[in-house]
Every structure is written in C-alpha cells, then in structure tokens.
Amino acid sequence: MYEATKDRVQWLLVYICEAHADDEWPIGAPVTIKQHKTIEERDQACKSCLDALGCAIPTVLDSMDNSFNNTYACWPLRFYLIDNNIVEHVPMPKGGAYNPLELDDWLRLKLGA
C-alpha cells in the first residue's frame, strides 16, 4: 500500500517501546529485544527491525517517556488515518488482527481510486 500510494499519501510509522521485550514480557520469538533504556537503544532496535522487514515507510521514534504510545494507545498495534486534519482511528478488530484490505479500502475511498 505504501509503495502504491506514497505519491499521494503521507505515511509515518512511529516506533514505540517493545511490546514483548525479552526482559519484560518474552514470548520466545526468534528475535529477542530487551526493553529500550535509552533513545539510542530504541533507534538501533528500530533500524534493525526496519532493515529486517525491508520497510521503507518514513519512521520516527516515540520518546523515552512513551508519550505518543501513552496518548494514542498504540500497543500492540494501531493505525491512525488522518484526512483534512481529522484523525480517523481504525479500531482493533475482533480477533486482534487487522485486515490490510480494510486500510486499502479506506485509502481507495479517500483517494477516489
């Protein structure tokens, strides 16, 4: 979706605290990351994640006091879509998984595509 719409849509990914940090709430994932203690650790974890996923979406870091996460309840995952300065929140669906096609449908409606 990003590649298909980046010329018409401003995308921004906010990298927040680790949801399943190895030293807080480990889930036995193949990649383990300790909770960030410094902004430099958060930056390195973010870069490693983006590189591993091949993600090209413009990305910023939440502050170490987690102000963005605390304000917008991002954990474990949230999408916020903004149209003409109005935030349109896509709520967490039942079952805990987003259907990317719903985001695609919203973009198509807004872009008239």
What number is the average pLDDT over the span 27-53?
83
The pTM score is 0.77
Which has the higher per-residue pLDDT, 29 or 73? 73
pLDDT digits (tens, 9 = 90+) for 58-90: 999 999 999 998 888 876 677 888 888 888 766
pLDDT bin (cut points 50, 70, 90) of residue 20 is low
Q: Give the number of other Cβ atoms within 10 Å of residue 74's Cβ.
A: 19
The counts of H helices and E strands in the chain are 4, 4
Chosen CATH of 2-111 out of 3.30.450.260, 3.40.30.10, 3.30.70.1710, 3.10.20.30: 3.40.30.10
Q: Where are the domains of the chain?
A: 2-111
Q: pLDDT tens digits for 99-111? A: 777 788 888 888 8
Contact 57, 15 (CB under 8 A): no
pLDDT for residue 58: 96
Identity at 55, one-letter amino acid code? C
The pLDDT, as a whole number, for residue 39 is 95
> What pLDDT is recorded for position 104?
84
Is 80 exceeded by the pLDDT of residue 4?
Answer: yes
